[in-house]
Amino acid sequence: MAVHFHEEDLPGDVFAPGAAIAVDTETMGLITPRDRLCLVQLSDGSGDEHLVRFNPGSDYAAPVLRAVLADPARVKLYHFARFDIAAIRHYLGVVAAPVYCTKTASRLVRTYTDRHGLKELVRELLGQDISKQQQSSDWGGPELSEAQRDYAASDVRFLHRLRDELDRRLAREGRTGLAQACFDFLPARAELDLAGWPEVDIFAHV
């Protein structure tokens, strides 16, 4: 298992065609148009993680990364897809779909708890522990520490295994179709966020 670090784009032929890719992002904050995209993390579940760092003033051209993210034959696995899809759409200009979101799946099957963070999911479903100490660190600095790199890699390291376990639970509870409908809507939910409806439920009565 290794963490590979890249500047501004992926090298070519990193991932096999059609393989599902776990995806996460690190930004300067939580307001997408204001807080620039600094890092995109990816893994195909084989044991290696790839980190693509964008510097201040980047044009986010990244043709290889954009092609991987926009590939309609490749499922993208996220934890809280809504945020990552919006950041990728805003900065890289592609819709990174089709989508699987482990947080959404967790909310549909783990109705016995309100704890749906990645750390909690990995602990309960996989019996492993991950550190979140670097979650609020400065991702825009000139150098990323080893602790930051390992934290960023851990955000995609477990998503394939989580999907397998969550799929079993969705099937057991008869909610596979409902989950897929939610996943299919997430790119539109991200577009609503970017268009100015971040906290508004447009389906609500009031």
Smallest CA-to-CA distance from 106 within 91, 125, 88 is with 125
What are phi and psi for residue 57, nearest 5 degrees? 85, 5
Question: Looking at residue 132, what is its pLDDT?
Answer: 67
Across the chain, what does the average pLDDT equal?
Answer: 95
Q: 26-54: per-residue pLDDT in tens?
A: 999 999 999 999 999 999 999 999 999 99
For the chain, percent of residues with pLDDT exceeding 90: 91
Neighbours of 139 (CB within 10 A): 21
Rounded distance between C-alpha atoms, residue 201 and residue 116, angstroms: 21
Interval 183-193 mean pLDDT: 98
Q: Where are the beta strands (DSSP E) in the chain?
A: 3-7, 21-27, 37-43, 49-53, 76-78, 99-101
Res. 1: pLDDT tops 90: no
Beta pairing partners, 100: 77
Query: Is the per-residue pLDDT at 136 higher than 90?
Result: no
With a cut of 90, say whether residue 125 has pLDDT above it: yes
Burial class (CB in 10 A: 0-12, 13-18, 19+), 161: middle
> Count H helices, E strands: the chain?
7, 6
Q: What is the pLDDT of residue 145?
A: 94
Q: Is the Cβ–Cβ distance between 102 and 77 less than 8 Å?
A: yes
pLDDT digits (tens, 9 = 90+) for 59-107: 999 999 999 999 999 999 999 999 999 999 999 999 999 999 999 999 9
Q: Which two tokens stand for residue 14?
A: 């990193």
**pLDDT value, residue 134:** 60
Residue 133, pLDDT score: 65
Supply the pTM of this predicted model: 0.95
In angstroms, the CA 162 to CA 68 distance is: 21
Rounded distance between C-alpha atoms, residue 45 and residue 100, angstroms: 14
* Per-residue pLDDT at 13: 85
Whether residue 108 is predicted with pLDDT greater than 70 in this model: the reply is yes
CATH superfamily name and code, 3-195: Ribonuclease H-like superfamily/Ribonuclease H (3.30.420.10)
Strand, coil or helix: what is 189?
Answer: helix
**Which residues 6+ apart lie within 8 Å of 186 measured at CB?**
81, 82, 85, 97, 99, 101, 104
pLDDT score at 135: 64
